[in-house]
A and B are shown apart, each in its own frame.
Chain A
């Protein structure tokens, strides 16, 4: 759950539009919407953030305006090697690049853990630390597990204007793979093509 005060802050970021109108596409099922509640759906303005990618470098979402951005929230560094979601994305990266998309991975681990993890898995994209205050960005996206204090395994595809076009929350222990992201990027291209014509 996003706390009321935080929700207010998000709203401020989103030109003070009321929550209801922000959603261009309704959630598929109200039930699921209620239950999961959390992840921001398509049509929402992606809340901006600025997080450390190295001890002395910060990455902001707004830096990437003008190109699609994939946000991959994940629970923790150092899950088992071969089935690791981020290792897969590192190999699929050339496909993401075909859409000029940038991938940002986010978890609550600290920057030193991230650095060692990214080196070990040869990750070729920024891994951001949502570390202090813990989980603030994950919460903004509704991708935080309060009980265990980790990011949920949630994916977002954000368009060149900073609007969320696709989001996905994986069930526990299920690595979502990359197909959903690629389909979302393809749809983004199609929509932009029709808008232009």
Chain B
């Protein structure tokens, strides 16, 4: 894990476009850190499990900002290849997104049968159809999942506790909306676009190599 990253305060336009700014709170600001370490046994990890760089996303399947960040993450993964492991954790904002919990449960039910990432991608690629459970079900069939088990686990909310645990872990790590990213364990306060994420990851790589040299 990298050391403390101190960033000079700057606006995150993607997140705060409409918020006026003042001039008062200048100075050094330390971004919050990931409180729940990445564990291969529990986490959904895409990329080499022992990769030097880790990008963690707390996301909500119904959130349009997460939908917009989805292809950006793909770009980051393409650019960094095997250097990067990408971790997805659930952060459904259930009061404003009525289908977010169900979608998270859908991905977890697919995960139980080893198909988390295909379902994760499918849900983000079909955000508009989230209210219709038949769409995900048809895709589960296409993935040759045991659809009876899949459906039962969703309707019985088997994975709701896990999703809520993800959520609370995120809250304690300073997740302040969706999507929230962590670059090697430090919250990324910049834009949720590929360029900014790759920049932050490359910065973390530099910190890593400096620490190794010492």
Contact = CB atoms under 8 A, between A and B. Distances in A.
Interface stretch (A17-25, A82-90, A156-164): A82-90
Interface stretch (A49-57, A61-69, A73-81): A73-81
A174 B9 contact: yes
A43 interface: no
Contact of B27 (A35, A82, A87): A35
A26 B187 CA distance: 29
A32 interface: yes
B22 A175 contact: no
B213 interface: no
Contacts, number: 123
Interface in B68-126: 93-96
B176 interface: yes
Which of B21, B177, B178 has most A Cβ within 10 Å? B177
B22 A145 contact: yes
B175 A177 contact: yes
B210 interface: no
A83 B65 contact: yes
B171 A179 contact: yes
Which of A32, A82, A122, A152 has most B Cβ within 10 Å? A82
B171 A172 contact: no
B62 to A, nearest CB: 9
A83 B32 contact: no
Interface stretch (B12-20, B43-51, B132-140): B12-20
Contacts of B35: 179
A130 interface: no
A24 to B, nearest CB: 23
Nearest to B98: A122
Contacts of B174: 176-177, 179
Contact of A91 (B15, B27, B94): B94
Contact of B177 (A76, A83, A145, A170): A83
Interface residues of B, number: 40
A124 B175 CA distance: 20
A179 B32 contact: yes
B209 interface: no
B199 interface: no
A122 B95 CA distance: 6
Contacts of A82: 60, 63-66, 93, 96, 177-178
A2 interface: no
Given A171-B29, A177-B174, A78 B22 contact: no
Nearest to B17: A80
A95 B16 contact: no
B21 A173 contact: yes
A74 to B, nearest CB: 9
Contacts of A88: 93, 171, 175-177
B11 interface: yes
A136 interface: no
B27 A79 contact: no
B161 interface: no
Contact of A80 (B15, B26, B176): B15
Contacts of A78: 18
B60 A95 contact: no
Given A38-B24, A170-B25, A179-B173, A79 B63 contact: no
Interface of B: 9-12, 15-27, 29, 32, 35, 60, 63-66, 93-96, 167-168, 171-178, 189
**Which 5 residue pairs spanning A and B have beta carbons closest together?**
A83-B177, A177-B176, A145-B22, A175-B176, A173-B11
